[in-house]
């Protein structure tokens, strides 16, 4: 593969995303909510842009991140609970998508949480493999684990923002739509999305990677037979 074309790819996606971002920044439903939704987004995209030359990700990872960010910007423009996908379905296809699948609420936020796991687990896996050099089982479990834990952290972050900074936004920012279990369902969907992504990745690697079984087994073998804790402390003191 031409490495130069790989380096150009994130720049092209950044230009496309910037256009999408500016378009949806015009007259959002709630400017305060839009600003809160995009604080982390701007920081995240900025980090990717700054590190693109020294630590470029794969085209697959950049594409996954790009697609997720497009969905997030759509949600921040309307506020997640008001994205009119059902109206679009009626206007374009002549039927209500919600009625067709039996939904009684706006589930755009649930879709994005699912896509958080589905689309971001692979880029997280790439970081683990290239930086920490994880192998075998841990190359699939740790991305799943980090996706789940960051989903939990984000739910806590949202709660903290509403409690401390933006109590006036309440439901508009949280998007619970009266469901007391909303945060739990969101985290579950993110976990399911990440699990699907890692299963697909594992199946592809199982098919094409010749030493897949050996690497998997080696990753689960005991590397240090002596326990840690007090034993490790004694060893360090003894040195």
Q: What is the 3-state secondary structure (H, E, C) of 153-176?
A: HHHHHHHHHHHHCCCCCCHHHHCC
In terms of pLDDT, which residue wins out, 72 or 178?
Answer: 72
Based on its alpha-carbon atoms, the radius of gyration of the chain, rounded to whole angstroms, reads 21
Estimate the crossing angle of helix 3-25 against helix 31-51, to 10 degrees: 170
In terms of pLDDT, which residue wins out, 23 or 104?
Answer: 23
The whole domain housing 133 covers: 3-238
Q: How far is CA 57 from the centre of its chain?
A: 15
The 10s digit of each residue's pLDDT in 159-187 is 777 676 655 555 555 555 666 677 888 89
User: What is the model's pLDDT at position 159?
Assistant: 76
Alpha carbon dihedral 18, 21, 25, 28, in 10-degree steps, equals 170
In terms of pLDDT, which residue wins out, 207 or 169?
Answer: 207
d(CA 222, CA 239): 24
Q: Report the domain count for the chain.
A: 1
**pTM to 2 decimal places:** 0.88
User: What is the model's pLDDT at position 207?
Assistant: 96
């Amino acid at each position: 593969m031409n490495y130069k074309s790989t380096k150009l790819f994130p720049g092209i996606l950044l230009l496309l995303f910037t256009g999408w971002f500016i378009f949806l920044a015009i007259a959002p439903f709630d400017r305060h909510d839009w600003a809160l939704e995009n604080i982390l987004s701007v920081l995240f995209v900025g980090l990717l842009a700054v590190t693109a030359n020294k630590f470029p990700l794969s085209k697959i990872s950049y594409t996954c991140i790009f697609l997720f960010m497009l969905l997030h910007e759509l949600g921040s423009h309307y506020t997640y609970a008001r994205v009119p996908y059902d109206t679009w379905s009626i206007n374009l296809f002549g039927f209500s998508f919600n009625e067709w699948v039996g939904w009684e609420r706006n589930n755009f936020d649930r879709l994005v949480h699912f896509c958080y796991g589905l689309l971001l687990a692979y880029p997280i896996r790439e970081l683990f493999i290239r930086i920490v050099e994880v192998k075998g089982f841990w190359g699939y479990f740790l991305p799943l684990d980090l996706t789940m834990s960051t989903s939990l952290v984000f739910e806590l972050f949202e709660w903290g923002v509403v409690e401390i900074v933006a109590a006036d936004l309440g439901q508009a920012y949280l998007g619970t739509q009266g469901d007391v279990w909303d945060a739990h369902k969101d985290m579950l969907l993110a976990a399911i999305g990440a699990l699907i992504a890692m299963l697909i990745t594992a199946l592809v690697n199982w098919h094409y990677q010749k030493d897949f079984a050996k690497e998997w087994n080696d990753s689960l073998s005991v590397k240090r037979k002596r326990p840690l804790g007090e034993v490790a402390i004694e060893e360090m003191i003894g040195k």
